[in-house]
Amino acid sequence: MRIFVTAAGGTEKALKEELRELGYRRLQGQRGGVWLSGNREVAARICLHSRVAVRVLAELGRFACPDEDALYRGVQGLEWARWLTPERSLAVTSVARSSGLTHTQYIAQKTKDAIVDAQRVAHGRRSSVDRNDPDVAVFVHLEKNEAGVFLDASGRSLHLRGWRTEATEAPLKETLAAAMVRLGGWDRETPLFDPMCGSGTLVIEADLIARRVPPHPRAHRFGFERWADYDAEAAAAIDALREEAHAGARASGPRCAGADIDPEAVDIARRNAERAGAQAHFSEASLGALRLEGPHHVLSNPPYGQRLEADAAFWEALRGAMRRNPECTFSLLLPEEGAPRDLGERRAVRAHPLFNGRIRCRLVTWSSMKT
């Protein structure tokens, strides 16, 4: 089976690195994700371990799809009974690019019709549609008149870890935060600090990455666990993988801490860390007073964009913080537009393009001045 693991724009490299760490080879990166081949256990391991993946899609089939008849026939020709019985609910979503069929809702509707018509013939009954919480989520990707039909093995988007039930303004998605931890080049040993921590996402993800804590709690269930082929034997195999993932967690790691000028943010970050089981420390402090003892990796996304504004005084405070902490490496997620190009005497060693939602950004890293 071919598997496509999706990732937010710009984080594909971090995902590839993470999949390599999980032991997977022959990875093929493309815009929006990474391809690899594997079985259900591979899909399950990625769901259980990956912090950068957004969805894990298992490819059921691929066919030429110049028009709606080809779509209907192609979908009907796939082996649905193995995954979807009439008792299980269904939802279909789609995207289309450079193809004859362009209307994504129509593509999804036609796909759903083909599946349930095939079920009626085979069983005399059909699945109901549940758009919010389907047992089996089908995804159709149409590009240049070729259709790929996938089952979503992850279920809910993997960025939803369960612990961030409270957030401050403009929080980072957990998957983007995890990608930043990797792309900033943190060595997972040096103490990490986020001086503008908001709801604490970067600090919490960093601690959990360093200590190899799986992204989801034991009780979390993934999409593939509701498919028709998920029998007792499969459940036992996945339980073993789940136990292995949790058994690999370390009791302690490098110090991960953060601060924010807003006391409410500090309280929220603390509560999020507690829910996540993270060993993270938060305090109320202004960037203007940032003075860290010894080498740290400073990782942060300063306020910018539509919801939070940064003015000239703020950028000056950031320059001051870099000047006062020469032993620290700084990795900052800055907007392409609106951030000054120079932030002090240091020369940036890396700049990685990323999207924070729709805002085009760069994760810029300045290494410490004392190496």
Ligand X SMILES: C[S@@+](CC[C@H](N)C(=O)[O-])C[C@H]1O[C@@H](n2cnc3c(N)ncnc32)[C@H](O)[C@@H]1O
Residues forming contacts to ligand X in the complex (CB under 6 A) are 167-168, 170-172, 195-196, 198-199, 201-202, 260-262, 265, 286-287, 301, 303, 308, 317
CB nearer to ligand X: give 19 or 321.
321
User: Which positions ≥6 away from 346 have C-beta within 8 Å?
Assistant: 322, 330, 366, 367, 369
Instruction: Name the CA radius of gyration of the chain, rounded.
Output: 23
Q: Name the minimum Å distance from CB 329 to ligand X.
A: 18
Q: Name which of 96 and 363 has its Cβ closer to ligand X.
A: 363
Sign of the torsion angle spanned by Cα atoms 255, 167, 155, 8? negative
Q: Give residues with Cβ within 8 angstroms of 332, minimum separation 6.
A: 298, 299, 300, 301, 302, 318, 343, 363, 364
Closest CB to ligand X among residues 134, 195: 195
Q: How far is the CB of 368 from ligand X (least distance, A)?
A: 21
Output the residue with the shortest Cβ distance to ligand X: 198
CB-nearer residue toward ligand X: 135 or 205:
205
Least distance between ligand X and beta carbon 318 (Å): 8
CB 212, min distance to ligand X, A: 22
Give kind and range of the element (H or E) at residue 314: helix 312-324
Crossing angle of helices 201-210 and 263-276, in 10° steps, is: 30
Q: Least distance (Å) from ligand X to the CB of residue 184?
A: 13
Residue type, 163: W
Alpha carbon distances (Å) from 44 to 101, 230, 258, 348: 33, 12, 33, 38
Nearer to ligand X, 308 or 348 (CB): 308
